[in-house]
Amino acid sequence: MINPLAQQLNEQILANNPHVFEMLSPLGKRLFFPKGILAQSAEAKAKAFRFNATIGIALEKGEAMHLACIHEWVNALGPDDLFPYAPAAGKQALRNKWREKQFAESPRLRNKKIGRPIATNALTHGLTLVGDLFVEEGDPILLPDKFWGNYRLIYEVRKKARIVTYPFYNSAGGFNLQGFSETVDRQAAGAKKLLVLLNFPNNPTGYSITPPEAEGICRILIKAAQEGARIVVVLDEAYFGLFYADDLFRESLFGLLVNQHERLLTVKLDGATKEEFVWGFRVGFLTFGLGPAGDLEAVYEALEKKTMGAIRGSISNSPHLSQTLVLKALESPDFRNQQAEKFRILEGRARQVAKVLENPKFADAWTVYPFNAGYFMCLAIKGVDGEALRKHLLETYGVGLIAAGGRDVRIAFSCIEEENVEELFELIYRGVMDLQAHATSGKP
Ligand SMILES: Cc1ncc(COP(=O)(O)O)c(C=O)c1O
């Protein structure tokens, strides 16, 4: 049984863009935002000027009731910015500020019509909401062959999607546009809808795209939509802004993809997690970008309500305290300078890694995957399994890195001070040499 409110949202979408309706999963079609306590409370907040007895929080002297032993740690903030529930879609002022930030950082977005950012419990939750709304059993989801492992849990394990990969790099070490294009075309044929997940700057490789690559990706997706495919493009921009090479595309792909074709729906996932160095805060955003069809505002509103229903029906709402803290940061005149200072530290580390890796002796131990952004870089180890190396480095040299499948290892230079970079790679080199020697001597 479909709820009449869900039916109404479905009709709102169907009347304006039937393709978006067809993109919705069965759960996405069933979702709505109930006119229950929250809706009545929102109404009361606006109108009940004498007493508002609608919401399940407690009040005292006109502000949120609270314990001093909690408040003393965040004393500069008023109780009402900390203790009450935040709205399902997030704190309004924060949503507005994040939207301003999105427009400021991606000039190509400025004349586009996009949805309002919906606050999520950081990016993982945004990815899960995309799963709830759009992913059903057997749906193909396109990823490069180097991707963040949690996608598997979110889409394959929980939603039974079918992950289809293409090789990330081309032979020149750039993004593999040709492989991407062929895979999009192959998967689009016959699929009811296609999900394409793009993650730049990328985890695990630390690679981000150039302007021609960005344009190439968008051309391929728009062409596939023109030829009849319904495509949900998911942009995981967790590491947005951490670009270290001069020739990179420094905007969001969102600006190139939205309002382009009615069969193309783009969902931008971004957040404070990595950009603002507040990993444990759990503050992210989900923003819809539609193609030109029907009344865009009506479809944005219906999709926002469905997303709010998915939030309400799972985590109810995201933490208020951390939303307030991120809002305070965005409002601070020092925010950009302080962020730039941390950016320069990470950039210095990335450049130092590149410099250290120029040492010709390392060619015996590994090849370096191209990297230019984000927190990480990867090595393809020669003649040694990544997991064996990981264990050996840990046990013998006290060095921890991630075995990223086969012979690949991932190194988070975000965690290594610039002056320690050289020593780190010397130790990894030593570890590889030890294991290569074992392999040739035949000793276990
Ligand atoms: C590519 C990518 N997306 C999403 C996430 C999750 O971010 P969050 O902590 O905001 O959920 C990570 C975290 O490691 C990531 O690397």
Question: Would the CB of 176 count as within 6 Å of ligand 1?
Answer: no
Same domain, 411 and 325: no
Same domain, 279 and 347: no
Same domain, 47 and 22: no
Pairing of strands 402-403, 366-368: unpaired
Same domain, 315 and 351: no
Same domain, 232 and 153: yes
Band of pLDDT at residue 443, cut at 50, 70 and 90 = low
Atom of ligand 1 nearest to the CA of 236: 3
Same domain, 221 and 344: no
Taking the centre of ligand 1 as the mean of its atom positions, its distance from the CA of residue 320, in whole angstroms, is: 20
Band of pLDDT at residue 40, cut at 50, 70 and 90 = confident
Atom of ligand 1 nearest to the CA of 375: 16
On the question of pLDDT at 440 being above 80, the answer is no
Residue 267's DSSP bridge partners are 234, 288
Band of pLDDT at residue 45, cut at 50, 70 and 90 = confident
On the question of pLDDT at 444 being above 60, the answer is no
Q: What percent of the chain has pLDDT over 70?
A: 98
Taking the centre of ligand 1 as the mean of its atom positions, its distance from the CA of residue 242, in whole angstroms, is: 14
Same domain, 156 and 104: yes
On the question of pLDDT at 413 being above 60, the answer is yes
Q: Which residues of 180-213 are buried (b: 16+ CB within 10 A; e: fewer)?
A: bbebbeebbeebebbbbbbbbbbbbbbbbbeeeb
Band of pLDDT at residue 41, cut at 50, 70 and 90 = confident
Give the tens place of pLDDT for each residue, 182-208: 999 999 988 889 999 999 999 999 999
In a domain, 360, yes or no: yes
On the question of pLDDT at 73 being above 90, the answer is no
On the question of pLDDT at 415 being above 60, the answer is yes
Band of pLDDT at residue 441, cut at 50, 70 and 90 = confident
On the question of pLDDT at 51 being above 80, the answer is no
Band of pLDDT at residue 71, cut at 50, 70 and 90 = confident
Find where tokens 């529930």 sit. 85
Question: Would the CB of 203 count as within 6 Å of ligand 1?
Answer: yes
In a domain, 185, yes or no: yes
Taking the centre of ligand 1 as the mean of its atom positions, its distance from the CA of residue 124, in whole angstroms, is: 6
Same domain, 406 and 372: yes
**What token pair was written down for 432?**
């590889």
Q: Which CATH number belongs to the domain containing residue 390 in this structure?
A: 3.90.1150.10
Cα(315)–Cα(322) distance, integer angstroms: 15
Find where tokens 């069969």 sit. 263
Q: What are the φ and ψ backbone dihedral angles of 198, each rounded to 5 degrees?
A: -115, 130
Cα(68)–Cα(407) distance, integer angstroms: 53
Give whole-number Cα distances, 21 to 29, 115, 137, 138, 442, in Å.
Answer: 8, 16, 17, 18, 60
Band of pLDDT at residue 307, cut at 50, 70 and 90 = very high
Question: Would the CB of 318 count as within 6 Å of ligand 1?
Answer: no
In a domain, 82, yes or no: no
Same domain, 127 and 220: yes
Looking at residue 53, its pLDDT comes to 66
Looking at residue 164, its pLDDT comes to 98
Same domain, 255 and 398: no
Band of pLDDT at residue 86, cut at 50, 70 and 90 = very high
In a domain, 253, yes or no: yes
Mean pLDDT of the chain: 93
Please tell me the total count of domains within the chain: 3
Looking at residue 66, its pLDDT comes to 85
Q: What are the φ and ψ backbone dihedral angles of 333, each rounded to 5 degrees?
A: -65, -20
Pairing of strands 162-166, 140-144: parallel
Q: What are the φ and ψ backbone dihedral angles of 234, each rounded to 5 degrees?
A: -105, 120
Give the tens place of pLDDT for each residue, 379-403: 999 999 999 999 999 999 999 999 9
Atom of ligand 1 nearest to the CA of 121: 11
Q: What are the DSSP E strand ranges found in 138-249?
A: 140-144, 162-166, 194-198, 231-236
Residues of the domain holding 43: 34-76
Looking at residue 298, its pLDDT comes to 97
Give whole-number Cα distances, 201 to 5, 91, 235, 311, 338, in Å.
Answer: 39, 27, 10, 27, 21
Give the closest residue to 277 by CA, choosing from 244, 251, 245, 239.
239
Taking the centre of ligand 1 as the mean of its atom positions, its distance from the CA of residue 45, in whole angstroms, is: 35
Average pLDDT over residues 157-170: 96
Q: Which residues of 256-269 are buried (b: 16+ CB within 10 A; e: fewer)?
A: bbbbbbbbbbbbbb
Cα(202)–Cα(222) distance, integer angstroms: 22
On the question of pLDDT at 283 being above 90, the answer is yes
Give whole-number Cα distances, 8 to 30, 49, 287, 380, 390, in Å.
Answer: 11, 31, 22, 52, 54
Band of pLDDT at residue 5, cut at 50, 70 and 90 = very high
Looking at residue 198, its pLDDT comes to 98
Same domain, 206 and 350: no
